[in-house]
Amino acid sequence: MAYVSIESQGRLARGRRAEILRSPSPHLKHFLTARDLDIDDVDELCQVADEFEAAPGPTQKFTGRTVALLFFQSSTRTRLGFEAAAVALGAHAMGMEDMSASSRSNARVRESLEDCAAVVSRLCDSIVVRHHEVGAAARMATMSMVPVINAGDGWNEHPTQALIDIFAMRRGLGTIRGKSIAFGGDPRGRVVRSLIQLLRFEAPREIVFCPPPRFDIPVDLLNAITENQIAYRIIPDIACALKDCDAITMAPYDMSEIGEPGSSSFVSPHETPEHYVITAEKIERTRSNALIYHPLPRFDEVDPSCDLLPNAMYFEQVRLSKFMRMAVLERTLSAS
């Protein structure tokens, strides 16, 4: 996890890509990329999330502490999930659902991300940011006085979603060790990039990609897999994954909207080719026990006919997300 000490922030020039200093986890502050999390971080966060789930009710541990939720792109579960997590910790979530319109960083005034961070971080104890630009959260971290959590920066990363996915897969599978984990849909997404980084600690037997032919798997993903000596293969039909794999994490067929600003009129394509779609009929036909995960929203790549099958883990994944977000916020607010 990236660490920028308050002292060092001043020395980082503004307006260029942040050069984030590394630090051991005791000084951990920002959640910018899954690359900087180690196995102890993941284990500890999963354990704290377990404890939050088992707790009898909300705590008031962080009464009066504030988390600013700054969303330059649309969101349902990430924004409401962090707000629910904050409330369950006794903290307060403030912020904006559409920074690209309602804040001074909008198209009219164009306040820089660095100034926005310098300002907002003097009014809160933690910042959660989603933006369409790669590196947006890291840019904010260079000027922030408080920890910055990357809730999605364009095509780059979404590390807390990856933590949620690992937490939910450990729950569903018992352990990821030795298991075959498939990735369906667009392999270029930010959740995939963060999740591949975290899977290096989990020692799966193999990673199986089922990407639409139009999109290559990004080279950095393949490098991360091979560097960690994980086997991988590519399959042309999701039915193979249903037959062979222990878990499938799905994504929309074409995630091109992920790099679009909030104000863009881009509309995502919704017509997934049939052999990339999971249906109840295919699950039955393949007698699949594969658990199906999805960070959501889905388009049509997982048919609603699956929703009631024991394979469907994607709504349970949302329920579990609250506890992992509580763990992330607890760590962040304890350090700030």
**Least Cβ distance, residue 335 to its own copies (angstroms):** 17
Candidates 20-28, 29-37, 76-84, 181-189; binding stretch for its own copies (CB under 8 A) = 76-84
Cβ neighbours, 10 Å, residue 193 = 23
Verify binding: residue 64, its own copies, rule CB under 8 A: yes
Residue selected from 8, 21, 35, 87 as contacting its own copies according to rule CB under 8 A:
87
Nearest to 121 by CA among 159, 148, 84: 148
Verify binding: residue 269, its own copies, rule CB under 8 A: no
**Is the CB of residue 256 less than 8 Å from the CB of residue 281?**
no
Residues 119-158 as x/- pattern, contact with its own copies by CB under 8 A: xx-xxx----------------------------------
Candidates 42-50, 196-204, 223-231, 261-269; binding stretch for its own copies (CB under 8 A) = 261-269
Q: How far apart, in Å, are the Cα atoms of 39 and each of 2, 28, 228?
A: 15, 14, 13
- Binding residues among 295-324 for its own copies as defined by CB under 8 A: 296-299, 304, 307-308, 315, 318-319, 321-322
Residue selected from 36, 114, 157, 301 as contacting its own copies according to rule CB under 8 A:
114
Tell me the backbone φ, ψ of residue 65, rounded to 5 degrees. -85, 150
**Is the CB of residue 322 less than 8 Å from the CB of residue 84?**
yes
Residue selected from 115, 133, 206, 244 as contacting its own copies according to rule CB under 8 A:
115
**Least Cβ distance, residue 223 to its own copies (angstroms):** 30
Verify binding: residue 1, its own copies, rule CB under 8 A: no
Pick the closer one to its own copies by CB: 79 or 158. Answer: 79
Tokens encoding 326: 């509580």
Residue numbers of the site for its own copies (CB under 8 A)?
10, 14-15, 57-58, 60, 63-64, 66, 68, 71, 74-77, 79-81, 83-84, 87-88, 90, 92-98, 101-111, 114-116, 118-120, 122-124, 257, 260, 264-268, 270, 296-299, 304, 307-308, 315, 318-319, 321-322
